[in-house]
Amino acid sequence: MSTDPLPFSPKPEAHRADKEYLRPEPADMAPASKDHETHQLGRKRRMSSMSRLMGHLAYSEPEARPVWCIGVITLEKNPGIAETRRYLKERLLKMPRFRSKLVVHRWGGHFEEVPVDDGYHFEVACYGKRATQDDLNEVVASINTWPFHADKPLWKVIHVPEFIDGTSVIIVCVNHAIGDGVALVNVFVKLCDIEEDLKQRASHTGKRKTGPPVSVATKAKMAVYGTYEAMFATMFRNDYKNALKLQGSPSPKKVVAASPDVIALQRIKDIAAKVGDGVTVNDVLMANYVRTLRAFFVEVGDERVVSGKRAVRSQFPVNVRKRNEGPCNHEGDPNNRFGFGMITLPLDFKDSTELIRRIKHKIDEVKVSPAPRLAYATLPGYMATLPRPVLLKVLLDSVNISTAQLSNVPGPQVGVALAGAHVVRFSFFLFSTLGLYFGVASYNGEVSCSVNMDASIGQDPRQLVKHWGPQFEKMHAEIMGGAL
């Protein structure tokens, strides 16, 4: 079986020489081995059209790039390199997709069980030093140019044993072909030591909620527009140039940053309750996302955007699972069941209450639109009829018409432990062909925000994400009262 790197990968030797901080686990602490155990080597399992599409992205030319879901888990203490690897290996390999390579071809694809090479899937970063936030950002950003191998499962774990504040960091990198955000939150729950009743609640996070009450006229409008949007998304005009819009093809390099501020979930709920009219936590988070972007555009002097004369659109994933369908299959494997919604951001808002209500109206329309579900349902037909280069171009064109994407990733709302160490923080990144991504993650009653962007945009993500906390404080003071 070939062990050559995937066609899009840089030379592994050059990568390793350049990144001395990233290396396989020290041999004296965690000797590499190949795990056969009781796994059914060679067994093949079917995959959905969405997983196959993500597989095509993983194995295609550099322009497309694979899509990586990245969870950054901060632990109160270091459980030890060998213990962390043993613990994560035991739990991850219970799920068949984490011990299977991805096989995609013109007419289909499947997951096929293969031996799991510990030395490949588990690495240590910043060994022998206290990693700074800049070190951690560089490790996360380097994931986008990793040399991955087609004959191995598409995931890796990086352990940063010692962070500058005395904590330890685990970075779990999973290709989107294995599962979507809802499913991978369920994987995170499975990795943690958590009460059984919470596990049961988490297993139902993929259930589709009842849509908002909307008028018959709105439903009819969204049915017509949503159908058009699903079928002809690539014909929509790209966002006009702005300070954060990717121009041209994506580059291999990403730059990342995390907000130093976390927001208490209860304070977000308080705002939603005060505004009323069915406003949700998601509506408030989206409003703070808009405020953060607006503050950045004001700072860089992009007046056309701030005044609303130049529209800025944002995508967000929409769960398209059927009622009572969970995020994992009967074997516990994560799955891919999502489409995309898109709204024009009301950056010309006058006050926070108006902003939240405008956001709610726009999101409610997306919730009743058939576009995300119709696009997901027609995907098998496109994949069966379009040549792969055409299919990938259609996908890239439809994804890159907007400026940014936001995901809200809900983690456990109680404290949990991993390998015997308390989980302090949880953050989330998504590396894709899109130029700008906001990952909002909630855990144990707190909400964090992380940003990654294409390096060719030419902006510093720290200058963007620094507005996340201060903008929320302004919104909270404006709606709830009280001085800043």
Confidence tier at 321 by pLDDT (50, 70, 90): confident
Q: Which of 118, 134, 110 is nearest to 81 (CA)?
A: 118
Q: What is the C-alpha separation between 463 and 100, in angstroms, rounded? A: 40
Is residue 139 located within the same domain as residue 275? no
For residues 242-259, average pLDDT? 89
Question: What is the domain extent for residue 31?
Answer: 14-202
Is residue 187 located within the same domain as residue 221? no
Q: What are phi and psi of 36, to 5 degrees?
A: -110, -45
The answer to the question of residue 447 being in a domain is no
Question: Does residue 406 register a pLDDT over 70?
Answer: yes
Confidence tier at 59 by pLDDT (50, 70, 90): low
Confidence tier at 184 by pLDDT (50, 70, 90): confident
Of 66 and 273, the one with more pLDDT? 273
Percent of the chain's residues with pLDDT above 90: 44
In the numeric block, the tokens 């699903």 are attached to 230
For residues 348-370, average pLDDT? 90
* pLDDT in the model for residue 161: 94
* pLDDT in the model for residue 38: 53
For residues 303-314, average pLDDT? 89
CATH number at residue 237: 3.30.559
Per DSSP, the residues of 271-319 read HHHHH-TT--HHHHHHHHHHHHHHHHHHHHT-HHHHTTSS--EEEEEEE
Is residue 285 located within the same domain as residue 148? no
Confidence tier at 32 by pLDDT (50, 70, 90): very low
3-state secondary structure 258-275: ECCCCEEHHHHHHHHHHH
Is residue 193 located within the same domain as residue 232? no
The answer to the question of residue 415 being in a domain is no
Is residue 39 located within the same domain as residue 181? yes
Q: What is the tens place of the pLDDT at every residue in 269-281?
A: 999 999 998 999 9
Confidence tier at 445 by pLDDT (50, 70, 90): very high
Calculate the average pLDDT of the chain: 80
Confidence tier at 332 by pLDDT (50, 70, 90): confident
Is residue 242 located within the same domain as residue 94? no
Q: What are phi and psi of 73, to 5 degrees?
A: -110, 120
Q: What are phi and psi of 408, to 5 degrees?
A: -110, 110
Confidence tier at 195 by pLDDT (50, 70, 90): very low
Sign of CA dihedral 54, 56, 60, 64: negative
Q: What is the tens place of the pLDDT at every residue in 279-302?
A: 999 999 999 999 999 999 999 999
Q: What is the C-alpha separation between 367 and 460, in angstroms, rounded? A: 33
Question: Does residue 375 register a pLDDT over 80?
Answer: no
The answer to the question of residue 207 being in a domain is no
* pLDDT in the model for residue 209: 45
Instruction: For residue 475, give Cα distances in angstroms to 48, 291, 445.
Output: 42, 9, 19
DSSP letter for 5, please. Answer: B
Question: Does residue 191 register a pLDDT over 60?
Answer: yes
CATH number at residue 176: 3.30.559.10
Give the pairing type, strands 108-113 and 44-46: antiparallel
Question: Does residue 11 register a pLDDT over 60?
Answer: no
Report pTM: 0.82
The answer to the question of residue 436 being in a domain is no
The helix (H) or strand (E) run that includes residue 339 is strand 338-344
Query: What are the structure tokens assigned to 70, written together?
Result: 């990245």
The answer to the question of residue 188 being in a domain is yes
Q: Are 275 and 155 in contact (CB under 8 A)?
A: no
In the numeric block, the tokens 């990938």 are attached to 392
Is residue 224 located within the same domain as residue 179? no
For residues 379-389, average pLDDT? 72
For residues 313-337, average pLDDT? 80
The answer to the question of residue 22 being in a domain is yes
Residue where a domain stops, chosen among 202, 228, 247:
202
The answer to the question of residue 441 being in a domain is no
Query: 3-state class of 343 per DSSP?
Result: strand
* pLDDT in the model for residue 367: 82
Domain count, the chain: 2
* pLDDT in the model for residue 85: 93
Instruction: For residue 77, give Cα distances in angstroms to 69, 81, 150, 440.
Output: 24, 12, 35, 24
Residue where a domain stops, chosen among 156, 176, 202:
202
Give the pairing type, strands 313-319 and 404-410: parallel
Tell me what percent of the chain is helix, strand and coil, each rounded to the nearest 5.
Answer: 40, 25, 40
Question: Does residue 250 register a pLDDT over 60?
Answer: yes
* pLDDT in the model for residue 219: 43
For residues 35-51, average pLDDT? 76
* pLDDT in the model for residue 106: 66
Confidence tier at 65 by pLDDT (50, 70, 90): low
For residues 74-94, average pLDDT? 93
Is residue 329 located within the same domain as residue 358? yes
Confidence tier at 63 by pLDDT (50, 70, 90): low
Confidence tier at 341 by pLDDT (50, 70, 90): confident
Question: Does residue 225 register a pLDDT over 60?
Answer: no
For residues 262-272, average pLDDT? 96
Residue where a domain stops, chosen among 202, 228, 253:
202
* pLDDT in the model for residue 348: 92
Confidence tier at 223 by pLDDT (50, 70, 90): very low
Is residue 377 located within the same domain as residue 251? yes
Q: What is the tens place of the pLDDT at every residue in 120-173?
A: 999 999 998 999 999 999 999 998 887 768 889 989 999 999 999 999 999 999
Question: Does residue 205 register a pLDDT over 50?
Answer: no
* pLDDT in the model for residue 266: 96
Question: Does residue 381 register a pLDDT over 80?
Answer: no
The answer to the question of residue 440 being in a domain is no
Is residue 194 located within the same domain as residue 237? no
Is residue 177 located within the same domain as residue 107? yes
Confidence tier at 390 by pLDDT (50, 70, 90): confident
Q: Are 100 and 117 in contact (CB under 8 A)?
A: no
Q: Flag the least confident range among 351-355, 395-399, 468-472.
A: 395-399
* pLDDT in the model for residue 334: 80
Is residue 117 located within the same domain as residue 232? no
